[in-house]
């Protein structure tokens, strides 16, 4: 089934390199406010934009006036316009008053030289279905296009019946609205791997069509869960990024598990399509998000684990979406986001692949555009271990390459036969082997 879906070239250019940005979920759950979004955007513009960070994404339930955390309030009234479309809660996003939607907030973020994104749930609002409200562009109404394939963890929506007349018109109307708001990035949830209904591949195709018709380039991100590998062709053909995992949090077993997921998905990396390892739970997280364990905390990852995560995400070329409150970053956290040599691996690396997996030792590699070779060595075990990569395994002649430690930003000298490092538990090393000469 990997061939399902047609690879459409136009949307690939919207994310020629893996998107990099900030998302409000890990720190604010469903309750982020306009003031908090703007504060993080201003930090990004000042400290991160020169390094390629550009997306500011408002996560779930921006239309819920009483949202308090990542624990959803079921069946509460939501803000909605006259055409069955959810709109920002004015008490949380004051600039949206008077029917302006997210356009004023997007204008400020664009003025900072950044891009603006939102999260939406698959489907049509329950309250629209119950009230049978109109849909723009069709005589059909909400109840006529709804399907009872509901999300098991959020009560806001019914699904959409792809066979119903008016269903495509509904999605078209949504993305026309988002184009009016000048949205650059849309994360669609409960669609890539619904817990109850598998992948909603027809709604993915409808959303692709709606974006293509709306007249504005928008990066399309799909969540949540472990997207089914057999649908890789459809995902690459319709989206720019899609989740390989349920929500990723700051505990070692989830990070160790990600290596296996990357081993499955690496053939799909590139050309404007990016399998997504999920957000980076770094820095100050859980301010009002109660998912993922203890609230209001610094990341529970050790420094070694943080570097290991960033090494894997960068070499694999996963999208980088920072989850913490940016304004609380310390020097260490900021250094993980602003190392130009590491970010060059993310931006310019090609052909990332696992070289080997031997018990708790694994090595990944990719190619640099100048003919160099990137090598990432990982100790996934709970005790120190030597991890190596022989030049012969990499297809390189002995004694021909200079090595550089990218995190430390220092030369390691000429490599004779291979790389060997004793790494701490859960530790890593990222090395560039220079072009031959």
Distances (CA, A) of 398 to 27, 241, 401: 48, 38, 8
CA dihedral 143, 147, 153, 156 (to 10 degrees): -20
Spans in the chain with pLDDT lower than 70: 1-9, 292-293
| Nearest CA-CA partner of 32 in 433, 305, 325 | 325
pLDDT of residue 400: 77
Residues 6+ apart with CB under 8 A from 218: 14, 175, 178, 179, 183, 184, 185, 186, 211
Averaged pLDDT score across all residues of the chain: 95
Residues 6+ apart with CB under 8 A from 111: none
Query: What is the tens place of the pLDDT at every residue in 136-171?
Result: 999 999 999 999 999 999 999 999 999 999 999 999
pLDDT of residue 171: 98
| Nearest CA-CA partner of 303 in 424, 420, 217 | 424
Q: The whole model's pTM is what?
A: 0.96
Phi, psi angle pair for 396, to nearest 5°: -115, 145
Asked if 317 and 351 touch (Cβ cutoff 8 Å), the reply is no
Bridge-based pairing state of the strands 385-390 and 401-405: unpaired
- Set out the domains of the chain in order of their start, with CATH numbers: 10-348 (3.20.20.70), 353-433 (2.60.40.1180)
Which pair of tokens denotes residue 5? 């879906």
């Amino acid at each position: 089934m990997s061939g399902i879906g047609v690879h459409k070239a136009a949307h690939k250019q919207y994310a020629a390199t893996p998107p990099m940005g900030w998302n409000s979920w890990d720190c604010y759950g469903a309750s982020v406010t306009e003031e908090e979004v703007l504060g993080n955007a201003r930090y990004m513009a000042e400290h991160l934009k020169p390094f390629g960070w550009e997306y500011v994404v408002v996560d779930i339930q921006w239309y819920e006036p009483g949202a308090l955390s990542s624990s959803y309030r079921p069946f509460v009234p939501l803000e909605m316009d006259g055409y069955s479309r959810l709109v920002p809660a004015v008490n949380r996003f004051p600039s949206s008053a008077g029917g302006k939607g997210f356009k004023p907030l997007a204008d400020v973020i664009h003025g900072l030289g950044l891009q603006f994104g939102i999260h939406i749930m698959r489907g049509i609002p329950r309250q629209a279905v119950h009230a049978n409200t109109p849909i723009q562009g069709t005589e059909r109404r909400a109840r006529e296009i709804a399907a009872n394939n509901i999300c098991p963890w959020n009560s806001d929506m019914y699904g959409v019946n792809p066979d119903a007349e008016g269903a495509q018109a509904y999605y078209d109307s949504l993305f026309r609205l988002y184009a009016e708001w000048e949205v650059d990035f849309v994360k669609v949830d409960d669609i890539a791997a619904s817990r109850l209904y598998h992948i909603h591949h027809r709604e993915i195709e409808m959303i692709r069509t709606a974006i293509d018709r709306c007249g504005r380039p928008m990066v399309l991100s799909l969540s949540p869960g472990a997207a089914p590998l057999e649908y890789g062709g459809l995902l690459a053909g319709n989206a720019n990024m899609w989740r390989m995992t349920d929500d990723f949090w700051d505990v070692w077993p989830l990070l160790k598990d990600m290596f296996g997921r990357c081993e499955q998905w690496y053939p799909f990396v590139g050309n404007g399509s990016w399998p997504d390892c999920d957000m980076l739970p770094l820095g100050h997280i859980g301010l009002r998000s109660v998912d993922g364990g203890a609230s209001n905390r610094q990341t529970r990852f050790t420094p070694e684990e943080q570097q290991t995560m960033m090494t894997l995400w960068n070499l694999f070329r996963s999208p980088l979406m920072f989850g913490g409150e940016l304004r609380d970053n310390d020097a260490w956290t900021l250094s993980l986001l602003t190392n130009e040599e590491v970010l060059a691996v993310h931006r310019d690396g090609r052909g990332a692949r696992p070289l080997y997996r031997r018990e708790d030792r694994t090595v990944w590699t990719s190619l640099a555009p100048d003919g160099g070779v990137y090598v990432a060595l990982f100790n996934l075990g709970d005790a120190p271990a030597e991890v190596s990569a022989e030049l012969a395994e990499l297809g390189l002649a002995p004694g021909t390459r200079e090595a550089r430690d990218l995190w430390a930003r220092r030369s390691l000298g000429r490599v004779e036969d291979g790389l060997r490092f004793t790494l701490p538990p859960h530790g890593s090393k990222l090395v560039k082997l220079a072009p031959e000469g």
